[in-house]
Amino acid sequence: MIRRAFDDEDPDRLYTVTGGRSRVRGNHLDLVTLIVSEAEPTPGMQSEYARILRMCHRPVSIVEISAELRLPVSIVRILVSDLLGKSLVSARNPSTGRARAQLPDAAFLKKVLVGLHNL
């Protein structure tokens, strides 16, 4: 197993950063969910929240935030979920209903698969 920088992170610090939470409630945030700031950091704000708000002036994925903050993805999901709850950021999932509507139907895909097998 390859040790990453956050493997050496003090677990007590991660516990404190998330307020003791280990899971996100309600919000489904994929690794590729794009986060965009809707507000500027305020004085006295937790430093991780402020860094997220500063880096997300343009769309940034959850995994990119994790890499930049050098925190586990699970911790970043909790932090971003908090910001979403306060309407300080917005989340955009790359796969939208419109994109799903453009997918070919299953019958067509089966015909393609049969044709490929016949080659």
The whole model's pTM is what? 0.67
Segment 16-26 shows an average pLDDT of 65
Segment 69-78 shows an average pLDDT of 89
Question: Could you tell me which of 96, 95, 93 has the C-alpha nearest to residue 34?
Answer: 93
Contacts of 63 (CB under 8 A, 6+ apart): 31, 32, 73
Domain 5-118, CATH class in plain words: alpha beta
Q: Say if residue 62's pLDDT is above 90.
A: yes
Q: Say if residue 106's pLDDT is above 90.
A: no
Domain assignments of the chain as residue spans, ordered by start: 5-118
